[in-house]
């Protein structure tokens, strides 16, 4: 599906950073077709995607049902004229498009800079395909420079934080500093009413192992490592160009041959 955006759709005078975000969102919107159930991510790049899809709804008659990953994305989607539903309503999604704070050559991600990684991971793993929209600054050889968020329940959070710090002694990371995420003078709270501990690790030697270790700790709800979830990354550039990186280049042919691109898909059956 090729989508045409008028010249004035991207506001004039965008900064190079915002142009890169828009370019990736514009390209990713071309993957969306009428009738799809689409997960909508959270963050500044995802906000551009919602704008693009809103334009397609109004100008082209695009009909989709969207599951937002945060309350602020839901509010923006409704304002754009996009039908918003819950994951319970649709059961399964054709596609999720979201941003990322970092991605590595295997398309493993760190997400959660906006504090929505719990819903983002639930929505992404309930999708046939996850596309990440981003800019070149998020591409890294090894994950870990961006702080890794860990969502925890408020009850006994100090003890949970201590357990998290102790667990880091047994994994391959570059540093072991943790901070409670704040919102001004108060602890930041997620849409689920939880707290976030940010781990300043510098380098993550084994993302899969670290994710499993963290999620075994009592009090931990979810961490921001997305391992083996993302299929495609769309990179937008400051000059308006875009490029697509596919982990599985010919995804459609695998589906036609009976292959499975998401190990959780049978949950919907």
Return the residue matching tokens 């941003």: 99
Q: Is 60 a catalytic residue?
A: no
- The answer to the question of whether 101 is labelled as a binding residue is yes
**45 labelled ligand-binding:** yes
For residue 5, give the nearest of 41, 42, 30 by alpha carbon. Answer: 30
User: Known binder of ligand: residue 231?
Assistant: no
Task: Find out whether 54 is annotated in a ligand binding site.
Answer: no
Q: Per the annotation, does 111 bind a ligand?
A: yes
Annotated binding-site residue? 138? yes
| Active-site entry in 18, 120, 151, 222 | 120
- Are the beta carbons of 20 and 243 closer than 8 angstroms? no
Strand partners, 139: 103
> Comparing C-alpha atoms, which of 19, 39, 131 is closest to residue 82?
39
Q: Which of 53, 4, 62, 1 is nearest to 25 (CA)?
A: 53
21 carries a ligand binding annotation: no
44 is in an annotated binding site: yes
b/e map of 58-93 (b: 16 or more CB within 10 Å)? eeeebebbbbbbbebbbebbeebebebeebeebeeb
Taking the C-alpha atoms of residue 225 and residue 212, their distance in angstroms, rounded to an integer, is: 10
99 is in an annotated binding site: yes
114 assigned ligand-binding residue: yes
Q: What residue numbers does the annotated binding site for substrate cover? A: 42-45, 98-101, 111-114, 138
Catalytic amino acids?
120
Q: What residue numbers does the annotated binding site cover? A: 42-45, 98-101, 111-114, 138
């Amino acid at each position: 599906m090729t989508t045409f955006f008028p010249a004035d759709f991207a506001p004039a005078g965008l900064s190079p950073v915002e142009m890169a975000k828009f370019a990736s969102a514009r390209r990713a919107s071309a993957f969306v077709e009428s009738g799809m159930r689409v997960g909508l991510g959270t963050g500044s790049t995802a906000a551009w995607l919602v704008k693009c899809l809103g334009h397609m709804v109004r100008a082209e008659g695009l009909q989709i049902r969207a599951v937002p990953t945060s309350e602020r994305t839901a509010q923006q989607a409704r304002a754009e004229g996009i039908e918003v539903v819950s994951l319970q309503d649709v059961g399964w999604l054709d596609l999720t498009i979201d941003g990322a704070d970092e991605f590595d050559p295997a398309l493993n991600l760190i997400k959660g800079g906006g504090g929505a990684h719990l819903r983002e991971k639930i929505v992404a793993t309930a999708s046939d395909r996850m596309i990440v929209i981003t800019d070149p600054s998020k591409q890294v050889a090894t994950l870990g420079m961006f702080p890794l968020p860990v969502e925890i329940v408020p009850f006994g959070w100090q003890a949970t934080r201590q357990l998290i710090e102790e667990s880091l002694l047994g994994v391959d990371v570059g540093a072991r500093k943790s901070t409670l995420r704040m919102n001004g003078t108060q602890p930041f709270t997620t849409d689920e009413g939880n707290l976030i501990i940010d781990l300043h690790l510098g380098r993550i030697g084994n993302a899969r192992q670290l994710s499993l270790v963290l999620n075994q700790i009592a009090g931990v709800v979810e961490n921001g490592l997305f391992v083996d979830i993302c299929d495609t990354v769309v990179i937008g550039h400051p000059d308006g160009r875009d490029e697509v990186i596919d982990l599985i280049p010919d995804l459609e042919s695998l589906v036609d041959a009976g292959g499975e691109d998401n190990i959780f898909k049978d949950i919907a059956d």
